[in-house]
Amino acid sequence: MSHTGLIFIAIVIGAGLLLVAGKSRKRGGSSTFHTKARPVLTKNEQGLYWRLREAFPDQIVLAQVAFSALITSDRSHRNRYSQKVADFVLCDKAFSVRVVIELDDSSHAGRGGEDAARDAMLKRAGYAVLRVPRTPDIDAVKAAVAEATRGGPAVPAGVATNG
């Protein structure tokens, strides 16, 4: 092969490598992709987390649980919940879910329809859902969880069950 032919092949290979490298950067492979750390829980969520731990010391409180860890369905429907996250899940020591707990603070303003759809999805899977507008006192959270898991009547003011 001639010297010109080798140069041509080298140029084609080099261009191919540059093209592949450019595509990987567009998919997040670039070191220039900007990311920054953020808190796992908001201040309001942290308050509710500690209240749940205080109220239920012998149970497991999980935070920021992916719906895909809670429910499954036909593959064609998974996109309906694959990006959803429950604020808290209260489990017994065998990791059986007692109740899914959502904090409806100001970040939920105007999302009633979306929240209702999320609750319905969890209920269809057999979960009790408890929504709280703020961190309740210890007695209120105990009563609310008891009612949510029992499916009984309305719970104390400021705490709503959807189970």
CB 81 within 8 Å of CB 122: no
Is the confidence at residue 102, as pLDDT, over 50?
A: yes
User: For residue 16, what pLDDT is reported?
Assistant: 72
Q: Enumerate the domain spans of the chain.
A: 1-34, 43-161
User: For residue 24, what pLDDT is reported?
Assistant: 58
Q: Which of 27-31, 41-45, 101-105 has the lowest mean pLDDT?
A: 27-31
Mean pLDDT, range 96-125, rounded to an integer: 84
Name the CATH architecture for the domain at 43-161: Alpha-Beta Complex (3.90)
pLDDT (tens digit, 9 = 90+) per residue, 48-65?
Answer: 999 999 999 999 999 999
Mean pLDDT, range 86-111, rounded to an integer: 87
Is the confidence at residue 30, as pLDDT, over 50?
A: yes
Neighbours of 46 (CB within 10 A): 14
